[in-house]
Structure 1
Amino acid sequence: MTSLRRWRLSHLSLYRRLMVWLLCPLALLVAIMLVQAWLASREAADRAFDRLLDAASLSIAEQVRWQQSRLWMDLPPSALEMLATDAEERVFYALYDAQGHFVTGNRSLPSLPTENDIQMNYGDVTSQDMPLRLGVLRARLEGWDRSDRFEVRVAQTREGRQALANQLFLASFVNILIIAGLAVVVVLLSARFALEPLTRLRRAIRQRNPRTLSPLELALPLELAELRQALNELLARMRRVRANQERFIGDASHQLKTPLAGLSTRAELALRQSDPAAWHEALATMHGTATKTARLAGQLLSLTRLNNPEATPTKQAVDLTALARRCVREAFSRHHRRGIDLGVEVPEHAVMVSANDWQLEEALNNLIENASIYGASQVTVQVTDAPARLTVTDDGPGIPESQRLLMLRPFHRGQETGDGSGLGLAIVDSIARAHDIRLSLQAAHPDHPERPGLCIALTFSSDASSNA
């Protein structure tokens, strides 16, 4: 139920969410004010009628006399008439002596506990299943010969009090409703005016040309200005991405145009020949060009897949030892025909990492192919543990230190010799960044700079090894 409620709130418009968070506390405040008004109305009604009970009790107490060896009183009609209202409530009185014995009255009434010798006490009681408001006046006869204590108890039903409390509460209720209505109107208008800059921002975004990535220029409040700045930063990144894509497409078109043009030219020249040997030579050249073009197309496809994060499969446990052996086994015969010594050095136990299997295989195949294309006669694939590391070392010409970062850019080639397209290391770099792998390029023999060779290492993080 909680998640469903959060889902419903999250799908409300910002204006409705603002109304919910403003009007709910306002409704709670109105409810509290109404409860307080009701309690205050009852208290005010009790205070007003208690004063009448006090006056009636004093009027009765003034008529108490000592007559024929006992207390007696002559009840004046005005004493009870002052308690009569339009609600026609019933009034009861009683006189009790100092010992609590009933002397006279129209009903026996209960007593109230004495509190610090207070002369007049009030309380809510029930007499014969009838709720009453009782006032008890404690007094004494004042005379030269007697000073006896007595109690005058006067009670009244609650109809008049309830009617007065309802009238007071109704007046407060109307006032609170008027104030609450004005507050709701103010909140609605304030929210509309407060969200107006957001509406202008929405309109400005909707009216923009989809091809336009220029910054938004719109005067906004501080909070929305930060959102505008974030949008402008996103647009700037999109401009850079589009520029990179356009450059990549241009480079890819150039890379594909050259071998395709060569194929067309070679085929045209072969058609003009009648010698089968010339045809054979042309077909061999065209086969090599087609193979190179197919490999270039495959690398372009791989680079495109790697640059699409939505198409990246979920990582899983991969054994680097088994991966290295499989890649070397599949590439061994092809490299052996070229005269390249391809070997593998791996531990006996499995080296597990959390990664994507086909992407790691693609990276290792590109490293092996790059080493063989650019003049290496010996290529060694190594796997080490603690930390997990995949290394490809060759004895080729290597890469100058100043050129190593540039070699990670697509279509950048450090030398014009060889059949490489300049995409191999770019693909490896994309795979490394996707897996949070540290890619390092260094000399194969750092202690002997005069010896040729290159060592490319993929070092996995401790999290990738522990999660495998």
Structure 2
Amino acid sequence: MTLTDSLYRRLLTWLLVPLLALGGLMLLLAWSEARRTADRAFDRLLEAATLSIAEQVQWQDEQLWLDLPPAALEMLATDAQERVFYSLVDQAGRVVTGNAELPGDPRDDSASGDTRLYRDIEWRGMELRQGVRRSRLEDWRLRERFEVRVAHTREGREALMKELLRGNLAYILAMAAVAITVLLLAIRAALTPLTRLRRAIRARDPRTLEPLTLPLPRELAELRETLNDLLARMRRVRANQERFIGDASHQLRTPLAGLSARAELALRQEDPARWREALLAMQTTSAKTARLAMQLLSLTRLDNPEYQPELVPLDLNAIAREAVREHWSQCQRSGVDLGLEASSSPLVVNGVDWQFAEALSNLIDNAQRYGARCITVRTRATPLTLEVEDDGPGIPAELRLRMLRPFHRGDEALEGSGLGLAIVDGIARSHHATLNLEAGQDGRGLRVRLVFPEAAQ
């Protein structure tokens, strides 16, 4: 869990970021609510102060007169030592009395029926909260209109807001601490099955490919089944490799034993003619063994998933001509007619030259070995095809797929390793081509075709 790009860190990040964003939103809401609560509390004091002052306004000596009660302003003076201002204004806009000329209600009398106004103002460089009350004298002889304006600084409001915010902040921080603790424990508990899976894999013997049976949650059970599928494929690959090694050992053991027997027999002879006969036999056997070793190497390279050679543009006509040229002399000595039917235009395909040469070499050698007297190497443009056709005994249709297996021969009495068609099949698959085994012309012999997709061109 200490890795830079760990699953634990990712989960923690994706869960903590929304949690912190939610916490920040809660702090903002708590601050806003504390401010509204403080304003509502002090606005009620402003309302009480303006009402108390308005009730004391009288008409005396042909003008408004006010006997200001001390309690009207003292209720706005808290421990925060706010500064309190007031003024009484008649309906003509003249200040009758007060300790400050405060701004009045900017609303039109006919536009609003509300006789009270509370707002934040800036007056002489001070931030004030003002309350304005419109009223009139309650005398049946005179109904003079007037405004009572009261304002005070915000020290008390800010102190109350901070006190309320501190209380809410304590609850929010406690909830955040509990949420983060629960989150950490939940993530650790959720990742425990993954830890058990990792430990189970580490504790396994590297030679063991048995499926995992560890009980896991549904999401990790899918991973376990995927691992079990991989282990099953690895078991099949290992079984194929063991079978291949066994077959290869058997195929190599026979010529090597023959070489040893020939050498031992030659050592017992004193006639140089017998020595020459033994050396010729040993040369033939060693050549076959070398051929078998090269085929085994080619098949191993083709079966290696990590071996991915670079594909380059190649002309199938040139490849076919080169294969015929290389095998011409050998076929002539064996009495085999080797021919070529090439397209008149270049047939370019992306591939590996040595693999195409190996495929044609195996097909020509197989046809010659199994009794063909006429072998034709052919290229076609539509569809893009490279094929070898012979007039030999052919392969029955029900046995053709089986012949693609390594070390499988149609006639065990004939010489050969049974690797030729398996190598051709591997080369076809590496080039995404389709390998077809068909009967030759007039139903005689065998035609082996490599049909390439358009993407290979």
1:368 is displaced (CA, Å) by: 2.4
Q: How many residues align?
A: 454
Q: Which residue of 2 aligns with 1:283?
A: 279
The CA deviation at 1:430 is 1.6
Letter in 2 for 1:24: V
Q: Which residue of 2 aligns with 1:94?
A: 87
Deviations 1:285-307 (A, max 9, x none): 11111111001100111111111
Q: In the TM superposition, what are the counterparts of 1:26-105 in structure 2 within 5 Å?
A: 26-105=19-98
Superposed displacement of residue 441, structure 1 = 0.7
Partner of 1:4: none
8 Å CA contact retained: 1:368, 1:379: yes
Residue 457 of structure 1 pairs with residue 457 of structure 2? no
2:240 to 220, 244, 264: 244
Counting only pairs closer than 5 Å after superposition, residues 257-276 of structure 1 correspond to structure 2 as 257-276=253-272
Q: How many Å apart are 1:311 and its aligned residue?
A: 2.1
Q: How far apart are the structure 2 equivalents of 1:173 and 1:428?
A: 77
**Aligned-partner Cα distance in 2 for 1:264–1:271:** 11
Check 1:299–1:82 CA distance in 2 against 1; reply closer, same or farther (3 A cut): same
| AA at the equivalent of 2:35 | R
Q: CA–CA distance in 2 between the matches of 1:25 and 1:42?
A: 26
Q: What residue ranges of structure 2 are gaps of 5+ in the alignment?
A: none
Structure 2 CA distance for aligned equivalents of residues 123 and 296 of structure 1: 101
* 1:84 aligned partner, one-letter code: A
Q: Deviations over 1:125-174 (max 9, x none)?
A: 11112111122212222221222332222111111111111111111111
Q: Which one is further off, 153-162 or 411-420?
A: 411-420
Deviates more, 1:305-314 or 1:362-371: 362-371
State the partner residue of 2:342: 346
When structure 1 is superposed on structure 2, of 303-312 and 427-436 the one drifting more is: 427-436
Q: Distance in 1 between matches of 2:98 and 2:363?
A: 115
**Distance change >3 Å, CA 229–CA 95, structure 1 → 2:** same
CA distance in 2, matches of 1:42, 1:112: 23
In structure 2, what is the equivalent of residue 312 of structure 1?
308
2:278 aligned with 1:296:
no
The aligned amino acid for 1:457 is R
Amino acid at match of 1:75: L
Letter in 2 for 1:177: L
Q: Which residue of 2 aligns with 1:193?
A: 189
Matched, 1:216 2:181: no
Q: Hey, what's the Cα distance between the residues in 2 that align with 1:326 and 1:70?
A: 128
Q: CA deviation at 1:256?
A: 0.2
CA contact (8 A) 1:125 1:134 kept: yes
Q: Residue 374 of structure 1 contacts residue 417 of structure 1 at CA under 8 Å; is this kept in 2? A: no
Cα gap change, 1:340 to 1:116, in 2 (>3 Å): farther
SS in structure 2 at match of 1:311: coil
1:375 to 371, 380, 385: 371
Instruction: Tell me the distance in 1 between the aligned counterparts of 2:361 and 2:304.
Output: 21
Cα distance per residue 1:163-222 (max 9 Å; x no partner): 111111111111111111011111111122222222222221111111111121222222
Q: CA deviation at 1:264?
A: 0.9
With over 3 angstroms needed to count, the CA separation of the structure-2 counterparts of 1:145 and 1:406, relative to structure 1, is same
Once residues 135 and 318 of structure 2 are traced to their aligned partners in structure 1, the CA distance between those partners, rounded to angstroms, is 108
Query: Alpha-carbon deviation of 1:38?
Result: 1.0
Partner of 1:163: 159
Decide whether aligned partners of structure 1 residues 255 and 177 sit closer, same or farther in structure 2, where only a CA change above 3 A counts.
same
Shift of the alpha carbon at 1:332? Answer: 2.6
AA aligned opposite 2:310: T
2:195 is aligned with what amino acid?
T
1:346, distance to aligned residue in structure 2 (A) = 2.4
2:430 corresponds in structure 1 to: 434
Moved more, 334-343 or 129-138: 334-343
> Could you give the per-residue CA deviations for residues 321-356 of structure 1, whole angstroms, max 9, x where no partner exists?
332223333333333332222222222332223333
- Structure 2 equivalent of residue 420 of structure 1: 416
Cα distance change of structure 1 residues 363 and 64 upon mapping to structure 2, 3 Å threshold: farther
Q: Indicate how the Cα distance of structure 1 residues 190 and 272 shifts in structure 2: closer, same or farther if over 3 A, else same.
A: same
* SS of residue paired to 2:345: coil
Separation (CA, whole Å) in 1 of partners of 2:362 and 2:77: 106
Q: Which amino acid aligns with 2:7?
A: L
Structure 2 counterpart of 1:108, one-letter code: E
CA contact (8 A) 1:375 1:418 kept: no
Q: Is the 8 A contact 1:411 1:421 kept in 2?
A: yes
Give aligned-pair identity as a percent. 60
Partner amino acid, structure 2, of 1:459: V
- Tell me if 1:133 matches 2:129: yes
1:336 aligns with 2:328: no
Q: Deviations over 1:245-278 (max 9, x none)?
A: 1110000000000000011111211222233332
TM-score (norm 1): 0.92
- Deviations 1:410-449 (CA, angstroms, capped at 9, x unpaired): 000011354321111111112222232111111113xx33
Aligned equivalent of 2:144: 148
SS of 2:306's partner is helix
Amino acid corresponding to residue 72 of structure 2 in structure 1: A
**Equivalent AA in structure 2 for residue 155 of structure 1:** A
Q: CA distance change for structure 1 residues 303 and 99 in 2, over 3 Å: closer, same or farther?
A: farther
